[in-house]
Amino acid sequence: MFSLLFISMPGGTEWVLIVLAVLILFGGRKIPEFMRGLGRGIREFKDAKDNVKREIEEGINEKDKKPA
């Protein structure tokens, strides 16, 4: 509980330092490629989540339609 008091979102200065560190580590040319890969990963995750949700809903609807 005590350690949770010190966890917070980064402020303006921290974001600048994070961006600079990413630029230094990956370089300017790798960042667009990295972001495209990140976008693809997020899109695939969302599609998988939607597929699971749809399958669950179909299962529920199928169970409701069966006579007891």
> Does residue 55 form part of some domain?
yes
Range of the domain at 44: 27-68
Q: What is the pLDDT of residue 64?
A: 75
Query: Is the separation of the CB atoms in 22 and 31 below 8 Å?
Result: yes
> Does residue 11 form part of some domain?
no
Number of domains the chain is built from: 1
> Does residue 19 form part of some domain?
no
> Does residue 14 form part of some domain?
no
pLDDT by residue (tens digit) across 48-65?
999 999 999 998 888 777
pLDDT by residue (tens digit) across 11-61?
888 888 988 888 888 887 888 888 899 999 999 999 999 999 999 999 888
> Does residue 38 form part of some domain?
yes
Q: Is the pTM of this model over 0.75?
A: no
Give the Å distances, CA to CA, from 59 to 32, 56, 66: 41, 5, 11
> Does residue 18 form part of some domain?
no
> Does residue 5 form part of some domain?
no
